[in-house]
Amino acid sequence: MTALLAIETSANLCSVAVAQHGEIIDIVVSEPRGHTRHLLPAIDRLLIDAGLTLRRLDAIAVTTGPGSFTGLRIGIGVAQGLAYGADLPALPLSSLATLAQGAVRSGQLAHDDVAVTVLDARMDEVYWGLYQVAGELVVALRPDRVSTPHALTLDPDLSAGTRYVGLGDGWKFAAQFPLTPIHYDPQAAPLARDMIPLALAALRAGATVTPETLEPHYLRDNHWQKRQRAG
């Protein structure tokens, strides 16, 4: 039976999950800027509770963005270290896809609805994506993007009657978005437990990578490079 560890540190919440035998256990810590302190102890606790060791896992999944520069580096660094040490493959996942998958679990996103996942990117910008349910999983209708809130655009191929569901803390800018969702939840956040269905599908599809090739998907690489040079 497949066993996975999932790590999500792209936003304010720090969460980890372990899946085996079709069951998921997780830990969620709500302490902004506390990822470094809580991540490894949470992983240790979950593995003990699940009766697993790292080497008995099939892979380690981690969200690689978009999201907090610091949070992504912490999560990816831990995933790389653990996967490399235990000779495990890694599974990079989108934080916005994870956010949309959570809406499937909670029942907020029905078939034919489109999830507009939006995270606050600071600097008057948002990270956003469009996702729709296909079977039990969400699929991206276009690549994840970063833009100013008013520049968020919908897929022209979607019908005029498409229902939209807004998810993520970026929906605090709802008044600036060029659409009216049937519902939006600015409290929704990416969680490690919602990575598990996506990670299992990626593992079955052979979409693993070696730990050393994991990289943050900032979407805003030029800004990050400018910040580094300025520093």
Residue 164: DSSP 8-state: E
Write the burial class of residue 136 (CB in 10 Å: 0-12 exposed, 13-18 middle, 19+ buried).
Answer: exposed
Q: Are residues 53 and 75 in the same domain?
A: yes
For the chain, give the mean pLDDT. Answer: 93
Residue 221's pLDDT band (cuts 50, 70, 90) = low
Tell me the pTM.
0.93
Q: Is residue 100 located within the same domain as residue 167?
A: yes
pLDDT in tens, 162-189: 999 999 999 999 999 998 999 999 999 9
pLDDT-based confidence at residue 155 (cuts at 50, 70, 90): confident
- Residue 212's domain is classified under what CATH number? 3.30.420.40
Distance CA 180, CA 164 (A): 7
Amino acid at 69: F
Domain span at 205: 3-95+191-230
- Kindly give, in sequence order, each residue whose CB lies less than 8 Å from that of residue 104, ignoring residues fewer than 6 positions away: 133, 136, 137, 138
**pLDDT greater than 90 at residue 224:** no
pLDDT, tens digit, for every residue of 53-67?
999 999 999 999 999
The tally of domains found in the chain comes to: 2
79 and 108 inside one domain: no
Do 125 and 75 have their domain in common? Answer: no
Strand-pairing partners, residue 63, are 93
Confidence of residue 31 (pLDDT cuts 50, 70, 90): confident
The answer to whether 170 touches 30, Cβ cutoff 8 Å, is no
Whether 231 has a pLDDT exceeding 50, the answer reads no
